[in-house]
Amino acid sequence: MFPHGGASVDLMFVAALCYMLLQHGRSDSYRVATIRSAPDDNKTADGKFKSRRKEKQQKKSDNLDDLKQELDIDFHKISPEELYQRFSTHPDHGLTHAKAKENLERDGPNALTPPKQTPEWVKFCKNLFGGFALLLWIGAVLCFIAYSIQASTEDEPADDNLFLGIVLSAVVIVTGIFSYCQEAKSSAIMESFKNMVPQFLLCVRMFFVTLATRWMFSPTFQLFLGIVLAAVVIVTGIFSYYQESKSSKIMESFKNMVPQFATVIREGDKLTLRAEDIVLGDVVEVKFGDRIPADIRVIESRGFKVDNSSLTGESEPQSRGADFTHENPLETKNLAFFSTNAVEGTAKGVVISCGDHTVMGRIAGLASGLDTGETPIAKEIHHFIHLITGVAVFLGVTFFVIAFILGYHWLDAVIFLIGIIVANVPEGLLATVTVCLTLTAKRMASKNCLVKNLEAVETLGSTSTICSDKTGTLTQNRMTVAHMWFDNQIIEADTTEDQSGVQYDRTSPGFKALARIASLCNRAEFKPGQDGVSILKKEVNGDASEAALLKCMELALGDIMSIRKRNKKVCEIPFNSTNKYQVSIHETEDPNDPRHLMVMKGAPERILDRCSTIFIGGKEKVLDEEMKEAFNNAYLELGGLGERVLGFCDFMLPSDKFPLGFKFDGDDPNFPLTGLRFVGLMSMIDPPRAAVPDAVAKCRSAGIKVIMVTGDHPITAKAIAKSVGIISEGNETIEDIAQRLNIPVAEVNPREAKAAVVHGGELRDLSGDQLDEILRYHTEIVFARTSPQQKLIIVEGCQRMGAIVAVTGDGVNDSPALKKADIGVAMGIAGSDVSKQAADMILLDDNFASIVTGVEEGRLIFDNLKKSIAYTLTSNIPEISPFLAFILCDIPLPLGTVTILCIDLGTDMVPAISLAYEEAESDIMKRQPRNPFTDKLVNERLISMAYGQIGMIQAAAGFFVYFVIMAENGFLPTKLLGIRKQWDSKAVNDVTDSYGQEWTYRDRKKLEYTCHTAFFVSIVVVQWADLVICKTRRNSIIHQGMRNWALNFGIIFETCLAAFLSYCPGMDKGLRMYPLKFVWWLPGLPFMLSIFIYDEVRRFYLRRNPGGWLEQETYY
């Protein structure tokens, strides 16, 4: 049989895990409640029995639709008394033990339900039998069938088919294990692979043992040996991986977030219980450092703050108290959510949701239950399989009919049919594509893109839309002081280490007063043990805003801790959500001034309301309407920049009323909090990363749409979007147009605005069609204040538009969107374990610019895979055509099966892989993203070039050298026609040549095998030119150059290997390869030059006439 050469990878990966929310015990406050209905008779409306499979799929779909709904509860709205009544609990005594037991039996434990796991042996089987590997298995089975037919009808059957079947089996097994190994390394289960090393060696041994014993064993024994060895490898491989399997990491990551124990009040007693034993209605107490054990309604608090960053993406700690503050349960201050961290204070709350019904549980359900579908490269491989299979079946059936018409026995025609089909199977392609993807993955890792899934390498290159998180991806994830307002001037702050850009006088009274307040009214401290670290890179204990103030003041004033020591703090009122200010009172460092200094910072409007004077130009002035207007203008300007603004004021407490040693009371203030002196404003922002604007510009030139999806405020999101270029300069939103024209927003035609900023509240009320319209008609979009469900809906909307979507994220809230996206990209530094497990790729430096690098690498590997496949498929024609001539022209076989294997698995492999190292062509990031429906990995134009043009020239080279050698030995072409039966008969030892010489069977076969070797060498020679022309699809070789040293090595390697196989002693026994005269290497050279010249001319006209007929017909 005639195999083919080439490359592919097993691209059928594990389907998305199914995760079903528990339905029992759900509160009727949820939007979607479990409704009791009439008993199910298992019949449809028309009386037919229901399909269990469809019913199961429908139930899964309904559950996921339920999860996608916004959280709709009223626990935060109802009065405490109604809350206690609803859950039969008491704020001081909690539940009774009996009620708690009843609730636990009804609702189950407070734990996340794990999804159904995909066993490792199933993953291994998908690598072994999925995708392109299936085509190779079919080829191997057909070989075994052909051999069985021959063995049952002939006394001494040829064992070529058996040998080919065994080799195909070995190739697919070895490559399948290699592919699984690559996934295993990314999934942190590499230890399991160690146990497969003996099986891997057994696969290799199977190939070489079969090769060495080719002429030593009977055909029956060879068949038995090949089948048994293949079975042993498969069974032991599956068993080993099954025994060593580890479960899905996504749910394990969620489990790691679950607290182990919690403090619960039951029947008036404080108990420490396992978190999973908590039930609805339990009264729990949490303190600084605890994880919230369930979703709770806060009923009491003292300076209580939680870190919601993993849930909502907000980096600032959020205050929590008993007051209802917002209709949205995710934004109200009186709810705290399961698995979030308490970072300050203490609180008491009533459990309102447990386990799967918590907000975190719903996110876990979405992340685990989403079906991600096939990746673009998997679809391309399937398309390629269909194309190759179609060509193979067409050729096979066509020539089967021809053979039958020519009078061949039907059994010979069937074997011929199988031979043609198997001849089109590119057995080397599977390994080549796998290695190419792996090399690119390693190259991307060196550029801070860690690929967990080999398919993701190419998917990123196909991306047409990037939905990017803001915090930590587009920005630096560290709050920085951006501007200051004092002495009635807005000053840009300088936070560089060398302070080279200072635009103000540090000795001015206004700055000194503002800096003193920012330094003293601040609880943030540098973590110890950072002596050699620069100020900007030092880690800080404290919230993000205070850390920004601390670093700014440290750069401007020096050692802040010494300033604090010289101004001893004697009293403090911490910031809380009710007052929205922070106060501290200090003894001053001036030994001659016995007064206390009171400093305050907080929400600017609240601070201003407590002031009666303002400090301007070193003088204290009355805070009149003019000054208030100046304040409002500055506040609005800084707020409009998307910056977080804080107000600062101070007051010198009179020494007669507050002498040194006075006992200040922070809980019940015994000092004035009004009539203070306003000093100024400071604004902070999480600044964009330096490389992001350039990266966004590259995306735009590459035709990639960048959408910001953030949980942050719309004003801040819009400001960052403008600063990084997501919203281009000059492009307006409908709000901008309305403001410019001074008309209501409702009167603006939305399609007139190229940019859009969509609030999560608006998104909640949009239909699918309205969302599609926004995505279709606005080129620059920002989604702000979005929930996890909304982020998922945005991704699905982009995919409905036909986009290949990449999503970035770092929090637990991002995991559903990361899982649903065509490629999920998690942050390696700031990212949660859950987001990393849900993603396909991890940015090790958390930098958006690394995504653009990944896009370029993805486009490059797609281009290079095309080139590699084009190179590999080209040799298919000179491999198949000798077989066709052998049947149709009745000539001695020009090229043998074993020799073909030497091409496909020998000389072609390294050159094909070397194309993965080819540099990008100049237009790679200026092209539009490829259309997955029309721009295929293997398209009709590539097949036409490989088979119909270059392949034909290569076949001509092979036949030319074949007829030259035959003629040199006395057999002119006319003499060879119709001689096959005599030539292959062992009984005939007097076949005469064109000059009347008689040839024995042994001499004829020696000449035939010499022709096989020469045909093989001629293919290698013309493949030199094919490899060089495949370097570039449009550029001239002169422009592209020969800087790919891996490719240069590939040319040398295939030449040396061909020479080794031709001249090494013993090859005539093992591989039927015979030494050649040096001159027999030369006939292929003219054909090699013609290939090079032909393709250079073709590309020259491509460049001269872009989009012309030649490009439409030949540019692949």
Report the chain's mean pLDDT, rounded to a whole number.
Answer: 80
Q: Which two tokens stand for residue 610?
A: 């407590």
CATH of domain 72-110+253-369: 2.70.150.10
Residue 524 burial (CB count, 10 A) = 17
The CATH architecture one would assign to domain 480-685 is 3-Layer(aba) Sandwich (3.40)
Q: What's the pLDDT at 178?
A: 63
Confidence of residue 817 (pLDDT cuts 50, 70, 90): confident
Q: What's the pLDDT at 52?
A: 45
Q: What's the pLDDT at 175?
A: 67
Confidence of residue 349 (pLDDT cuts 50, 70, 90): very high
Question: 106-128 pLDDT, tens per residue?
Answer: 999 988 877 666 677 777 777 67
Q: What's the pLDDT at 240?
A: 32
951-1114 topology per CATH: Calcium-transporting ATPase, transmembrane domain (1.20.1110)
Contact indicator for 432, 872 with CB cutoff of 8 Å: yes
CA 413 to chain centre: 49
Question: 507-551 pLDDT, tens per residue?
Answer: 899 999 999 999 999 999 998 888 888 888 888 888 888 999 999
Q: Give the least confident one: 102-106, 369-373, 957-961.
A: 369-373
Beta bridge partners of 509: none
Average pLDDT for 161-168: 75
Contact indicator for 678, 635 with CB cutoff of 8 Å: no
User: How far is residue 842's CA from residue 810's CA, in Å, rounded to a whole number?
Assistant: 10
Question: 893-934 pLDDT, tens per residue?
Answer: 898 877 887 888 889 888 998 998 888 887 888 888 988 888
State which CATH number among 3.40.50.1000, 3.40.50.360, 3.30.565.10, 3.90.1150.60 fits the domain covering 460-475+689-848: 3.40.50.1000
CA 219 to chain centre: 49
Q: Give the least confident one: 65-79, 429-443, 841-855, 860-874.
A: 65-79
CA 911 to chain centre: 29
- The DSSP 8-state label assigned to residue 906 in this structure reads I
Q: What is the CA radius of gyration of the chain?
A: 37
Confidence of residue 250 (pLDDT cuts 50, 70, 90): very low
Q: Where in the chain are the domains?
A: 72-110+253-369, 120-246+374-427, 460-475+689-848, 480-685, 951-1114
| Amino acid at residue number 434 | T
Task: Give burial (CB, 10 Å; 0-12/13-18/19+) of 141.
Answer: middle
Q: What's the pLDDT at 202?
A: 31
User: How far is residue 735's CA from residue 752's CA, in Å, rounded to a whole number?
Assistant: 11
- For residues 528 and 130, the model is more confident at 528
Contact indicator for 368, 812 with CB cutoff of 8 Å: no
CA 591 to chain centre: 62
Q: What's the pLDDT at 132?
A: 62
Q: Which residues are catalytic?
A: 469
pLDDT at 1113 over 60: yes
Confidence of residue 372 (pLDDT cuts 50, 70, 90): low
Residue whose C-alpha is closest to residue 219's, from 158, 153, 140:
158
pLDDT at 1022 over 80: yes
Beta bridge partners of 479: none
Question: 37-86 pLDDT, tens per residue?
Answer: 333 444 444 454 444 444 544 544 555 455 555 567 889 899 999 999 99
Question: 759-788 pLDDT, tens per residue?
Answer: 888 888 888 899 999 999 899 999 998 877
Q: Which two tokens stand for residue 376?
A: 């673009």
Q: Give the least confident one: 125-129, 200-204, 572-576, 601-605.
A: 200-204
Q: What's the pLDDT at 686?
A: 86
pLDDT at 225 over 80: no
Which run of H or of E encompasses 1081? none
Residue 673 burial (CB count, 10 A) = 14
Q: What's the pLDDT at 184?
A: 58
Residue whose C-alpha is closest to residue 202's, from 244, 164, 174, 172:
174
User: How far is residue 1029's CA from residue 1051's CA, in Å, rounded to a whole number?
Assistant: 13
pLDDT at 388 over 60: yes
Confidence of residue 258 (pLDDT cuts 50, 70, 90): low
Q: What's the pLDDT at 587?
A: 93
482 SS3 class:
strand
User: How far is residue 469's CA from residue 686's CA, in Å, rounded to a whole number?
Assistant: 13
- Going 874 to 878 to 883 to 888, the CA torsion angle's sign is positive
Average pLDDT for 948-953: 93
Q: ∠ CA 1029-1035-1036 to the nearest 5 degrees?
A: 65
Residue whose C-alpha is closest to residue 599's, from 530, 553, 539:
553
Contact indicator for 369, 20 with CB cutoff of 8 Å: yes
Contact indicator for 264, 283 with CB cutoff of 8 Å: yes
User: How far is residue 170's CA from residue 192's CA, in Å, rounded to a whole number?
Assistant: 21
Q: What percent of the chain has pLDDT over 70?
A: 82
Q: What's the pLDDT at 568?
A: 93
Range picked from 4-13, 202-211, 260-269, 307-316 for highest mean pLDDT: 260-269
pLDDT at 195 over 50: no
Contact indicator for 1013, 1021 with CB cutoff of 8 Å: no
| DSSP letters spanning 43-96 | B-TTSPBPPHHHHHHHHHHHHHHHHHSPP---TTTS-HHHHHHHHT--TTTBB-
CA 768 to chain centre: 25
Q: What's the pLDDT at 117?
A: 63
| Alpha-helix residue ranges (DSSP H) falling in 292-375 | 309-312, 359-369
Question: 877-893 pLDDT, tens per residue?
Answer: 998 899 889 888 889 98
Average pLDDT for 965-972: 94
In the chain, DSSP finds a helix count (H) and a strand count (E) of 43, 28
